[in-house]
Amino acid sequence: MINFLKRFNLFEVLLVAVILFIHLYAAQADAYTFPNMWFKRDDAYYYFKVAQNISEGHGSTFDGINPTNGYHPLWLAVCIPIFALARFDVILPLRVLVMVIAAMQAWTAVLLYRLIKKHLSQAVAILAASFWAFENYTHATVYELGLETPLAALSVVFLLYKLSQFELEWRARDIAKRDLAWLGFLAAIVMFSRLDLVFLAVIVGIWLVFRGNPIRHLLPLDIVLIFISMTSSVILRTGFESYNTLYAGSAIEAAILALLVKIPLLYFFGAYQHPRARSLWAQFRGLFLALSASAVLVAGIYILLVQIGIGKNFPRSAFLLDFGISLALLFPLRLAASWFADPSRVNAESPLAQFKSQWKKWLSEGLVFYGVLGGLLVFYMLFNQFAFGTSSPVSGQIKRWWGGMASVIYESPASSWTSYFGIDSEISDVSKPFSELFWWGADALRPIFPGADKQDERYYAAMFAVLLTGTVLIFAAKKRSLRVITNMGFIPLAAGGAIHLLSYTATAYGGAKAWYWVSQMVLLTLTFSFLLDLILKPLQKIKVARISLEIAALLIGVLLAQRLNQFIQYAMRHDYFAPDRAYMEVVEYLEENTPPGSVVGMTGGGNVGYFIKDRTIVNMDGLINSYDYFQALQNGDAPTYLYNQGMTIVFANPRLLVLPPYFGQFAPYFERYSSYGGKDLLYLLEEPKY
């Protein structure tokens, strides 16, 4: 135990202690506060109820009737032993979960502190760790929802921490296959913590296998730019509405085809040689030839696929736009690479010669890393296919189905360029909580751009000013910047995060939520830490100034912790609510107005399903229902399907069920008999009334 404690310095001990102390107070709060002040998201209770059912031997099901896989598997595995306690008291597991999440939060903050301290400075590390642990938006989005986000954040930061260690080790010794296998396993942990982090996991493999070669820096970013180029070309031709309803599928197919064709051509035309090995003109000429050839090949192959019935309808002029956009994006990346590249390490070896000398090593190491990562993914998909009838979570399939509808009642897919790039001020803003800096800058610009109608202009002008300032700082300190960017894993994290974002905004996905962007929050925390370190670097050389900065960082951390603690003490009351108060008023209403043993349908219904007694809640939107129900919903047979499963009551807003994705299929089967909170309690009839 003593040796274990020696691994922590005083700041880390205090940080962990404060986090646990604050959350211990929350864990002891009145029962009523948990569903109403802390675990408020309906989605969290999908996990809780499924975990409870698994622990009680009912299988992977929310309602005890339909098997479901609508969740991220690793978080469910964490929840199962915790919610085994629900058989004794439904609030007890929520209290335990608060402390489990607090432990994950503390571990993540300590890892961030160590990573930043090692590569930047003590003062910035203290500030960043305190910010992550105690900033209100981060806490509310990552740690208060009861969703998979604490585990996702921890797994991402832990992987970055291990990549940082690997970065120093591979330069000093030969890397064994077991090292790559271990990192492949850690990447799989990241992927299973949130399945959409698979893109980060895949990019990490590129970063590892191609170490010591410029391709490791360029290829991940090229993948992002090629994907942006093809999908944005289609959007420019069709507009967002037509893109989402008609062309998103074909655009993704074309983007994947473009990746498969462009990357080999870019390689053999020298685009991945050392940036200083050729003149800028030679680099431009090579890019132009590679992209010209790929444009012809991609267009020809896709048109052929359409002719034989494999591909979908596609605006052919988008291929020409893609050529121009690709060239406009990839060449500036080569200019930046030339600026940062070390001229003393120029390797003029031709692409073909390099391939002949390196392909066996690349292949063998790639098989190790991706064998572990891909093997676990294939096993997961095969298990899902066998157990649930579909290889991927039905919840994601349903949301993509929603995104292709013109007037769906749920959240719509990206409908503007700002939402496509994830920088609008609504739910797809991946820059939160750092976007507060942009709003502060927007207020400062009000005298220059007055008027209430100029708010967006001021916001994006402030964002551009911050981005420009950061770019100048990074380019000015190019040697230090390259070292930090490499050692802290910025490129795989940024590329993986960008593809992750585009996997929603460019694929007509309906219903993206703020908590999806955990890896982007980690990236921005590290980025702003690095920029702050660049600004403060001259002061770090002066002992008095360095100590003063560390004290200031500690004081800011204390203020952040105090503010979070005040909020939690206000929200998580002790001895304030009556012990016998109903956890949720709607649960009390349903128990009073439905007979014991009833099977009740709800859109959503996660929290009600967890707290209600002697009744069964069936999820009607399909997110935590079976693949068979999803097919019935698509085919217009959902009412009959649910009735045959014993569901005779529905609690919902029938006016919403007239609209997509329900298309009014339930309306002929309803007979209303009560109302509460804007919803009706309805009988689900066996036969339609009309």
What confidence tens digit (pLDDT) does each residue in 147-173 have?
A: 999 999 999 999 999 999 999 999 888
2: how many CB neighbours lie within 10 A of its CB? Answer: 5
Is residue 222, in this structure, part of any structural domain at all?
A: yes
Residue 558 located in a structural domain: no
DSSP-assigned beta bridge partners for residue 61: 67
CB 337 within 8 A of CB 214: yes
Same domain, 403 and 485: yes
Asked, for residue 69, whether it belongs to a domain, the answer is: no
Closest CA to 262 of 298, 208, 211, 314: 298
Position 6 scores a pLDDT of 57
Residue 426 belongs to a domain? yes
DSSP secondary structure code for residue 174 in this structure: P
Nearest to 258 by CA among 171, 319, 197: 319
| Chain centre to alpha carbon of residue 478 | 30
CA dihedral 271, 274, 278, 280 (to 10 degrees): 70
Angle at 541 between CA 537 and CA 544, to 5 degrees: 110
Element (H, E) at 396: helix 394-403
**Beta-ladder partners of 520:** none
Contact 397, 390 (CB under 8 A): yes
Helix axes 490-505, 215-238, angle to 10 degrees: 20
DSSP state of 505: H
Residues 402 and 511 in one domain: yes
**Residue found by looking up tokens 């571990």 in the block:** 107
Q: Dihedral of CA 79/510/201/518: which sign?
A: negative
In a domain, 690, yes or no: no
Site of tokens 């190790």: 368
Which pair of tokens denotes residue 303? 């048109």
Whether 322 and 428 map to the same domain: the answer is no
Sheet holding 649-652, edge to edge: 616-619, 599-602, 649-652, 679-684, 670-676
CA distances from 498 to 118, 333, 558 (A): 26, 16, 33
Q: Are residues 402 and 289 in the same domain?
A: no
> Cα(70)–Cα(395) distance, rounded to whole angstroms?
5
Q: What are phi and psi of 618, to 5 degrees?
A: -105, 130
DSSP state of 269: T
User: In degrees rounded to 5, what are phi and psi of residue 672?
Assistant: -75, 145
Those residues of the chain that have pLDDT short of 50 are none
- State both tokens at 68: 């479901």
Report the candidate in 155, 150, 261, 169 with the shortest Cα–Cα distance to residue 201.
155
Q: Is 154 helix (H, G, I), strand (E, B) or coil?
A: helix
Q: How far apart are CA 399 and CA 406, in angstroms?
A: 13
Res 117: pLDDT: 96
What pLDDT score does 4 carry? 56
Same domain, yes or no, for 397 and 534? yes
pLDDT of residue 456: 83
Position 151 scores a pLDDT of 98
Structural domain including 243 reads 217-340
Do residues 370 and 205 lie in contact, with contact meaning Cβ atoms separated by under 8 Å? yes
Task: Dig out the tokens for 420 from the structure.
Answer: 């496509």
Helix (H) and strand (E) counts for the chain?
A: 29, 5
Give the up-direction half-sphere exposure of residue 246: CA atoms within 13 A in the CB hemisphere. Answer: 12
Reduced to 3 states (helix: H, G, I; strand: E, B; else coil), residue 639 is: helix
Domain assignment present for residue 628? The answer is yes
Which candidate, 643, 653, 602, 654, places its Cα nearest to that of 623? 602
Do 604 and 516 reside in the same domain of the chain? no
Q: Which contiguous run of DSSP H or E holds residue 619?
A: strand 616-619
Q: Within this chain, do residues 590 and 506 fall inside the same structural domain, yes or no?
A: no
Q: How many domains are contained in the chain?
A: 3
CA distances from 1 to 100, 105, 347 (A): 21, 22, 50
Strands 599-602 and 616-619: parallel
534 lies in the same domain as 406: yes
Tokens 């599928």, residue located: 249
Give residue 541's pLDDT. Answer: 86
CA atoms within 13 A on the CB side of 212: 14
CA distance 248 to 234: 8
Distance of CA 481 to the CA centre of its chain: 26
Q: Which of 155, 146, 150, 134 is nearest to 14 (CA)?
A: 134
Looking at residue 678, its pLDDT comes to 87
Q: Are 608 and 601 in contact (CB under 8 A)?
A: no
**Residue 424 · residue 663 · CB < 8 Å:** no
pLDDT, position 314: 86
| CA quadruple 136, 141, 142, 146: dihedral sign | positive
Give tens-digit pLDDT for 79-101: 999 999 999 999 999 999 999 99
Strands (E), 460-528: none
The helix (H) or strand (E) run that includes residue 286 is helix 280-307
Amino acid at 654: P
Report how far apart, in Å, the C-alpha atoms of 457 and of each of 360, 438, 450, 452, 460 are.
Answer: 52, 11, 10, 10, 5
**Tokens 């961030």 — which residue?**
112
Q: Examine the domain organization and report whether 445 and 531 are in the same domain.
A: yes
What is the helix (H) or strand (E) element at residue 670, kind and residue range?
strand 670-676
Neighbouring CB atoms inside 10 A of 618's CB total: 24
Q: Please give the biggest Cα pair distance in the chain.
A: 83
What's the full length of the chain, in residues? 690
Residues 408 and 529 in one domain: yes
Contact 244, 505 (CB under 8 A): no
Are 467 and 600 within one domain?
no
Of the three residues 340, 356, 383, the one that is the final residue of a domain is: 340
Same domain membership, residue 532 and residue 415: yes
Sequence-ordered list of residues with C-beta below 8 angstroms from that of 442, at least 6 positions apart, any chain: 455, 458, 459, 461, 462
CB atoms within 10 A of CB 539: 14
CA dist 239 → 234, 256, 456, 501, 678 (Å): 8, 21, 21, 19, 36
Spatial contact of 183 and 166, defined as CB atoms under 8 Å apart: yes
**419 touches 501 (CB < 8 A):** no
> What is residue 600's DSSP assignment?
E
Is 303 part of a structural domain of the chain? yes
The SS3 call for residue 148 is coil
- How is residue 243 annotated by DSSP? I
pLDDT of 450 = 82
Are the beta carbons of 586 and 676 closer than 8 angstroms? yes
> DSSP code of 28?
T
User: Which amino acid does the sequence have at 38?
Assistant: W
* Last residue in a domain, options 510, 538, 566: 538
DSSP secondary structure letter of residue 431: T
Q: Is residue 60 domain-resident?
A: no
